[in-house]
Amino acid sequence: MENEEDLCRAFAPRIRLYGLRHLRDEQAAADLVQQVLLIMIESLRAGKVRDLDKLPSFVLGTCRMVVLESRRGSSRRERLLEKYLPRDWAVSPEPLAGLDRLAPCLRALAERERTVIMLTFYEEHSSDMVGRSLGLSNENVRVIRHRALGHLRKCITGAAK
């Protein structure tokens, strides 16, 4: 059986992403990581999860539950923190290689691509909202966005090699 620390290292980045996607806040996502890992450890030690192949589903279900609970204002965090983890425990996201090249890579995009990317990711706006703002259709925004992301990724990773 993998040890608890390995499991925490494996799941922490994925829980953080789930948190960022649903809570749109780095601190809230970091809190979610701690809470879900604590519940995971508690459940493993209690023998509630025996089949590790089912652990991803268990962790995802826990993420969903904790996000719902946090929206209701209740939390088991403090009690669990006391029991299992040191207070300074945290997982830092891995930086994207070549991110320092982002500004020149954005400058290299076509105008429409740059504007669509900026409006989209500044506040994670849907293609519908961006389209209305620019007088473009949903589909058009998605096509431009997809093409722009491809150009950006190629530019950034190319520069990182």
Residue 52 or 83 with smaller CB distance to another protein: 52
Q: How far apart are CA 117 and CA 155, in angstroms?
A: 15
Of 79 and 121, CB closest to another protein: 121
Which candidate, 46, 50, 28, 37, places its Cα nearest to that of 9?
37
Sign for the CA dihedral angle at 17, 18, 20, 25 comes to negative
Q: How far apart are CA 148 and CA 120, in angstroms?
A: 11
Q: Which residues bind another protein (CB under 8 A)?
A: 10-11, 13-14, 17-18, 20-21, 56-57, 59-60, 63, 93-96, 99, 102-103, 106-107, 110-112, 114-127, 133-136, 142, 145-146, 149-150, 152-153, 156
Shortest distance, position 72 Cβ to another protein, whole Å: 20
Cα dihedral sign, 103-108-111-115: negative
Query: Minimal distance in Å, beta carbon 47 to another protein?
Result: 21
Cβ proximity to another protein: between 57 and 74 the closer is 57
Residue 78 Cβ, how far from another protein at the closest point, in Å?
25
